[in-house]
Amino acid sequence: MSDFDYDLFVIGGGSGGVRAARVAAGEAGAKVALAEADRYGGTCVIRGCVPKKLMVFASEYAHMPDAARAYGWDIPDGSFDWQAFCGHLNTELDRLEGIYRNLLSGSGVETFDTRARIKDAHTVELASGETKTAKHILVATGGHPVRPDMPGAELGIVSDDIFHLPELPKSILIVGGGYIACEFACILHGLGVEVTQYYRGAQILRGFDDEARGLIADAMRERGIDLHTGTNIVEMRAATDEDMVAGDVTLATAPVEARQIGAKDSAQGKPGSGPVWTKATNGKTRVFDMVLFATGRKPNTADMGLEEIGVKLGRHGQIAVDEYSQTGVPSVYAIGDVTDRVNLTPVAIREGMAFVETVFKANPTPVDHDLIPSAVFTQPEYGSVGLTEEQARDLEEVEIYCTSFRPMHTAFAGKPDRVLMKLIVSKASRKVLGCHIVAPGAGEMIQLAGVAIKMGATKEDFDRTVAVHPTMSEEIVTMRNPIRTA
């Protein structure tokens, strides 16, 4: 008989934690428990990837009637019903959470709907005060969005709040230039919100390919998003009635009566409850119905008991782990966003699987973080895998194959939309080191391109592949001559 209550106790019911728990129990025969303080499915299913992608779908319909008319359809413009969408969305999220719960129970995992923290290397303490012991503890608590440290920041909302708004604002300021900020700028603009975006850097989407970043920024502005780079917010407070009529502000578009009611609520410090007066680094002052901070995320490690038992935390609160996701305390492991390695749901799931292989199947499996495809669901989408041009040219001499053009679908409708197809190729080995696609459906395309690049395909392998015509993606295999060497 084991000296512990469980072979494994998982803290966190997101995608990574649930996968590790059910595979350890269902395939490796381990006795497993899992504690989740909120909803099962975690950030991705409940307040991230899934609801966000459904919002992306919803926002894209705004442009369809106009495009359809160019193709001969007599379709009038419609209107968007936020309440109807949210009702359907919540039903879907409930369904998905139910699937997660059923997967755990079907695998024999015992679940606790409560917060848990670590008491010692083999003991977990539940919020009720009850303790459970386990041979291994896996921390998969994910992360959370943060507000900047500035007066009035409590008046703004964060990405988690978007899915719980009782109604859409008429105008919004989005602060940030990462993928979350840019995705929500495109989503909310598509749903009819007047969107302004401030980013303190020189260009949005830092860390991605410069050429792709530029095209996306141009497309966002072309669509009507008021995007300001090199700009940040320096002051904010609840808007007063005087702000509503002052000559040095741009009024939000909501009716004055509604804004005044909101201002009184906002003065009480409720995020998103009323108009907000803001001042930017360029000196411009404006009133917005809402401010969204998309300025970063932090791991959920506060008050977890980690440092008390000797688990090392990084500068941002992330759990330090080795290539097998093991902390400095041998019985404690961590996966997913709480480790701040590659913060993507499929990566957390892979890390969970590698953990089970290592600990419960006697098959030491390091986590492979190389050549991970990813997608940014802006409009147009951006799919990437491998190195950017800027990263590659710092390592070796490379050839750049790139084309940008108006795709058939939107060109026929008279739209200015452009797409980008780009390959970064090693001049010495001829391997494709990176692929970048900015186009509708780029996320779908990059998944398939990622297989070839992960296998080590060369430019000549791409060249030998017959094009599928007429498609946008055929350009990936028809670019014969490099446009530059870097």
Average pLDDT over residues 170-189: 98
Same domain, 172 and 123: no
Question: Which residue among 274, 293, 312 closes a domain?
Answer: 293
Percent of the chain with pLDDT over 90: 93
Residue 231 DSSP label: -
The answer as to whether 365 is a domain residue is: no
Q: Does 111 share its domain with 200?
A: no
Is 328 inside any structural domain? yes
Q: Are residues 114 and 206 in the same domain?
A: no
Q: Taking residues 322-351, what's their average pLDDT?
A: 98
392: its two tokens: 């590659």
For residue 247, pLDDT over 60 is answered with: no
Record the tokens describing residue 306, joined without a space. Answer: 């980690």
Q: Which residues are catalytically annotated?
A: 469
Q: Does 369 fall in a domain?
A: no
Residue 483's pLDDT band (cuts 50, 70, 90): very high
Give domain status of residue 79, yes or no.
Answer: yes
Q: Which domain holds residue 71?
A: 6-144+298-360
At 245, the pLDDT band (50, 70, 90 cuts) reads confident
The more confidently predicted of residues 87 and 258 is 87
Question: Residue 172 and residue 225: Cα distance in Å, rounded?
Answer: 11
322 with 270, same domain? no
- What pLDDT sits at residue 269? 52
Judge whether residue 400 has pLDDT over 70: yes
Question: In the predicted model, is pLDDT for residue 1 greater than 70?
Answer: no
Give the CATH number for residue 96.
3.50.50.60
344 and 403 inside one domain? no
- CA–CA separation, 1 vs 126, rounded Å? 24
CA angle 471, 472, 476 (to 5 degrees): 110
pLDDT level of residue 273 (50, 70, 90 thresholds): confident
Q: What is the mean pLDDT of residues 247-261?
A: 42
Over residues 73-106, the pLDDT tens digits come to 999 999 999 999 999 999 999 999 999 999 999 9
Q: Is the pLDDT of residue 20 over 80?
A: yes
**Res. 241 pLDDT band, cuts 50 70 90:** confident
pLDDT score at 272: 77
Q: Decide if 1 is inside a domain.
A: no
CB 326 within 8 A of CB 355: no
Q: How many CB atoms lie within 10 A of CB 387?
A: 23
* 276 is a domain residue: yes
Q: Position 472: which residue type?
A: M
pLDDT at position 246 is: 66
Comparing 479 with 268, which gets the higher pLDDT?
Answer: 479
Q: Assess whether 157 and 281 both reside in one domain.
A: yes
Question: What local confidence, expressed as pLDDT, does residue 250 receive?
Answer: 47
- Predicted confidence band of residue 228 (pLDDT cuts 50, 70, 90): very high
> What's the total number of domains in the chain?
3
Q: Write down the pLDDT at residue 266.
A: 40
In a domain, 31, yes or no: yes
